[in-house]
Chains A and B, each alone.
Chain A
Amino acid sequence: MEDIGFILSTYIATFVGSVALAWYYLRRGKRLAEQLPPEDMPWI
């Protein structure tokens, strides 16, 4: 069970990395949306 640190670190790194990227995309999207009219966002 001394490997538990190693095992957990891979899970934590993966989730932290993914969440950080997702958060960055959402924040960037929100900031850009403030400067653009809705017709430039056809997915809405």
Chain B
Amino acid sequence: MAVTQNRITNTTATDPLAERSVEPAKRRRGGATGTRFTFVLGAATIASMALLVLFGLFLSPADITQGESVRILYIHVGTVWVAYVAFGVTAIASALFLWKRTTSLTWDRIAGASAEVGVLFMALTLFAGSIWGRLSWGQFWVWDARVTTTAFLFITYVGYLAVRGLGGSHQQRGRRSAVVALLAVLEIPLVHFSVKLWRGLHQEASVAGTTKVQLENLMLFSLFLALIAFTLLYVWLVMHRQRVLAMQDALDDKGLDYALAARRAESSTAATTSATTTAATGGTV
């Protein structure tokens, strides 16, 4: 790009590169991708997270059977909830992108943003879940159907993000990744069902049965708090990511304008020498 830019700036005055000197966006609260709404949302997220720490770690009581480790539950349930919501949103947005009447790259970007946030929360879920498993079952990992399906979801969406990063035009990226996201919707129930059937035949009781938690009012409240806090965080992250992706795409399109100008300049400089070019290529026969 740098080379072509130099070449352009000294050709004509009407090329789009003249618009290149863009006024930087006015410095506002919440950065370039923030609005008043996301600022309020972010503040609410931070406040509810602080409340969650307060209630989850200090105010809520320990469980009778689980002891202190029940406090992990708030994190674990919150993150897994967000991860599943995120992948659901990815699937719906992908379907809307593929459907001719609602197709828009915005849906594709929402799908991508949501999957990215979902993958992070899925990783956190697996981490918190295995710690919880260590404390309540004595194992970091059990071959429970739900646990295994979660791990597969994680890997599947890592693959989805890899497909998004393959390159090509925006439309191509959107079509490819939307199809992969919908195939994941096909795949996950099959994985879950097969793992469930597998464990069901080989192990009498699922380990999940031994982790019954009697939830007191204050614990229930903390759990709800966790769901709210993580949902707010999810919305904030996806909104910002979606805007960053939109800017990235817009920048790619701008890059095309500059590249077009450069390409056209190639033809206008070559015009004067075209006669000699013809003779030269003719001579090589």
Residues of chain A having any CB pair with chain B under 8 Å: 1, 3-4, 6-7, 9-11, 13-15, 17-18, 21-22, 25-26, 28-30, 32-38, 40-41, 43-44
Interface footprint category on B: 35 or more
Q: Which residues of A have CB within 8 Å of B53?
A: 11
B237 within 8 A of A: yes
Q: How far is the CA of A22 from the CA of B248 in the complex (A)?
A: 17
- Contact residues in B for A33 (Cβ distance below 8 Å): 24-25, 31-33, 247
Contact of B243 among A1, A18, A29 (CB under 8 A): A29
Q: Is the CB of B22 within 8 A of A37?
A: yes
- Set of chain A residues within 8 Å of B22, measured between Cβ atoms: 34-37
Do A38 and B244 touch across chains, with their CB atoms under 8 A apart?
A: no
Given A11-B75, A35-B251, A36-B22: A25 in contact with B134 (beta carbons within 8 A)? no
Q: Is B192 an interface residue (CB 8 A)?
A: no
Contact status B250-A36, CB under 8 Å: yes
What are some 26 contacts across the A-B interface (CB < 8 A)?
A3-B67, A6-B69, A6-B131, A7-B68, A10-B128, A11-B56, A14-B124, A18-B120, A21-B117, A22-B236, A25-B237, A25-B241, A26-B31, A26-B240, A28-B244, A29-B33, A29-B240, A29-B243, A30-B32, A32-B247, A33-B25, A33-B32, A35-B251, A38-B23, A41-B243, A43-B243
What CA separation (Å) do A19 and B76 show in the bound complex?
A: 17
Verify B236–A14 contact, CB threshold 8 A. no
Contact status B67-A17, CB under 8 Å: no
Contacting A21 at CB < 8 Å: which of B31, B69, B120, B251? B120
Q: How far is the CA of A26 from the CA of B38 in the complex (A)?
A: 12
Whether the pair B240, A30 counts as a contact (CB closer than 8 A) is no
Closest B residue to A18 by CB, please name it: B233
**Chain B interface (Cβ within 8 Å of chain A)?**
19, 22-25, 28, 31-35, 49, 53, 56-57, 67-69, 71-72, 75-76, 79, 117, 120, 123-124, 127-128, 131-132, 134-135, 233, 236-237, 240-241, 243-244, 246-248, 250-251, 254
Decide yes or no: A10 and B75 within 8 Å by CB, A21-B120, A32-B32 being known contacts. yes
For A17, what are the chain B residues with a Cβ–Cβ distance below 8 Å? 120, 123-124
Residue of B nearest to A28 (CB): B244
Across-interface contacts of B28 in A (CB, < 8 A): 44
Contact check: which of A7, A21, A28 meets B72 at CB < 8 Å? A7
| B128–A36 CB distance below 8 A | no
Using A6-B69, A29-B31, A41-B32 as known contacts, say yes or no to A14 and B79 having CB atoms under 8 A apart: yes
Leading 3 A-B pairs by shortest Cβ distance: A33-B32, A29-B33, A32-B247
Q: Are A3 and B135 within 8 A (Cβ)? A: yes
Bound CA–CA A9/B89 (angstroms): 29
B79 partner residues in chain A, CB cutoff 8 A: 14
Q: How far is the CA of A43 from the CA of B76 in the complex (A)?
A: 33
Across the interface, do A6 and B135 meet the contact criterion of CB distance under 8 Å? Answer: yes
